[in-house]
Amino acid sequence: MFDVQAIESLFYLLVPLLYGAGAVATGLATKPNNLLVRSLTFKLAFVSAVAAAITSWLWPVAGVWFSHGPLASIMLLLITLLGMVLGRFSERYLAGDPGQRSFMVWLQVILASVAFIAITNHLLVFLISWIAISISLHQLLMFFPDRPRAALAAHKKFIFARIAELCLGAGFLLLYVQYDTPFIDRILAQVSASPELPAAAHGAAILMAAAALFKCAQMPFHGWLIQVVESPTPVSALLHAGVVNLGGFLMILMAPLIVQASAAQWLLLLVAGPTAVFASLVMMTRISIKVRLAWSTCAQMGWMLVECALGLYELALLHLVAHSAYKAHTFLNAGNTVELSMKKRLVAINEPGPRQWLTAASFAALFMLPTIFLANESAPADLFSWVVPGIALTILLSEFLSASGGVLTLGRGLLLGAVFWALYWLQKTFFGLVLTPPDSQAGLEAVGFVAVLIALLVRGYYQIRYHRFTSAGARLYRFLFAAGYLDEWSTRLTLKIWPAKLPNVVRPRAMVSVSSTSGSRESA
């Protein structure tokens, strides 16, 4: 009779071990482009993740050092799939670059560390892996060390990462002292069984929420995320599709604790909520595709943390997976994204009229109301989770209807709305069944706060989208284009506390001679 728990643990452990072995083999390889070793590493890691997911689904058992739950399986599949894509892309993108071997080594170290975070059930292993990710990512952010903006972004990221690690370590220490065990599942079991959360656990939840906010680059500590576009494209894809999501994963993993800590929930709401609204509007003012995607990531991380604060953990997990896949595709496909964006700018923007808005709202209500009835959900946060996509669908359909008219357009709009709503419903239901999140959700006050934020977002979107050139629209656009100067203040404070010696930009000799010649002519 075989030991199911040992086999499952082996499959889970194989993933980070394969990445670690691949990093060592890449570093020791005699040929810089040892494609066979690296391609096998990424493929075998994905196969191991699939095997781990299948065995844990067929024979669910409780692990000790490793988490065998659905959350670990989903994260492991996501990590290995993205790793396989990023590894293949990086082989061609950095072909011939002298730093390619070093890049591939650190890439696999990061993937191994993220995999350990996804599967571990031990606080110390989680913390060590979290730190290893930050240190390894710093090496990739400094891939072009002669670029001042890249060095500045890496410097700010280094400082904020240390603060996040201190918060996370202090939170874990409080949990260990309070519950006398380093194993995460045993801590969460005691939390769920206790009618009241101890003060130490409350403090730990607040510290972990702060760590998640720093990790997810929430304002005003967001500037480094916007500036890391100076690094190679695979680094941006890895960061935006994987590493920056770890704050949300931490909140989902610790859901039984967070739902009982109202202070931690409000900390997430008060920081991540305004960040999500502001970053969503700032994104509309950006011209550079990569910078726009970076602001989009900042906003999406904010919304994901808001969902965690509301107790909608299945929606947060759906958000995490969808955002990872979307950002990996858009960054690696940035060339086509630029072309698509330029084509959109050539299309005239037609403001929807009252008829289009009413028709779109009717279509959205046609999908939303039966869904709420069939889902049999009455909690304010659950109802809100259906209202928000209804608002998004209303805006989408109104712009679709304003572009053209006729019965055919109405039919296409109805079909588009049906597909949109069916996909959202199926995915939300699937992640709810797989994750089985805690029943406790935020109250009416928290939902009302988020509703105000959604109203501000819709109002700002309407102003920038359709009335940008009015006096009010121009003022708002200028303010958003400067992003409230939050990053400038954050950068000044950071450099005062911990100064950084940035590399000097050395101009080529030919450029120096030309500029000096032109200068002498002007003076003559």
In this predicted structure, what is the pLDDT of residue 442?
A: 74
What is the 3-state secondary structure of 146-177?
CCHHHHHHHHHHHHHHHHHHHHHHHHHHHHHH
Tell me the C-alpha distance between 461 and 467, whole Å: 10
* Helix runs in 333-353, H state only: 334-346
pLDDT tens-digit map of 246-286: 999 999 999 999 999 999 999 999 999 999 999 999 998 88
Instruction: Annotate 57-118 with three-state secondary structure.
Output: HHCCCCCCCECCCHHHHHHHHHHHHHHHHHHHHHHHHCCCCCCHHHHHHHHHHHHHHHHHHH
- How close are the terminal C-alpha atoms of the chain, in Å? 94
Look at residue 257 in the predicted model and tell me its pLDDT.
92
Q: How confident is the model at residue 272, as a pLDDT?
A: 94
Asked if 347 and 463 touch (Cβ cutoff 8 Å), the reply is no
Q: Which portions of the chain are predicted below pLDDT 70?
A: 1-5, 29-38, 60-64, 337-348, 375-378, 404-410, 504-524
Q: What is the pLDDT of residue 169?
A: 95
**Distance (Å, rounded) from C-alpha 209 to C-alpha 248?**
9
How far is residue 365's CA from residue 416's CA, in Å, rounded to a whole number? 14
Find all residues with CB under 8 Å of 49, minimum gap 6, and list them. Answer: 11, 15, 73, 76, 77, 79, 80, 81
- How are the residues of the chain apportioned to helix, strand and coil, as percentages rounded to the nearest 5? 80, 0, 20
Alpha-carbon span 366 to 359, nearest angstrom: 10
| Residue position matching structure tokens 């967001």 | 222
pLDDT in the model for residue 505? 53
HSE toward the beta carbon, residue 250, CA cutoff 13 A: 35
Query: Percent of the chain, pLDDT > 90?
Result: 25
3-state secondary structure 451-506: HHHHHHHHHHHHHHHHCCCCHHHHHHHHHHHCHHHHHHHHHHHHHHHCCCCCCCCC
Non-local CB neighbours of 466 within 8 Å, separated by 6+ positions = 349, 351
- Give the span between the Cα atoms of 164 and 183, in whole angstroms: 21
Contact 153, 229 (CB under 8 A): no
Shortest CA distance to 435 belongs to which of 88, 70, 42, 172? 70
Could you give the CA distance from residue 137 to residue 367 in angstroms, rounded to a whole number? 43
What is the model's pLDDT at position 523? 36
Show the CA angle centred on residue 156, arms to residues 150 and 160, nearest 5°: 140
pLDDT for the residue numbered 60: 67
Q: Is the pTM of this model over 0.75?
A: yes
Amino acid type, 375: A
* Residue showing tokens 């890691």: 45
In this structure, which amino acid lies at residue 273?
Answer: G
Q: Is 120 helix (H, G, I), strand (E, B) or coil?
A: strand
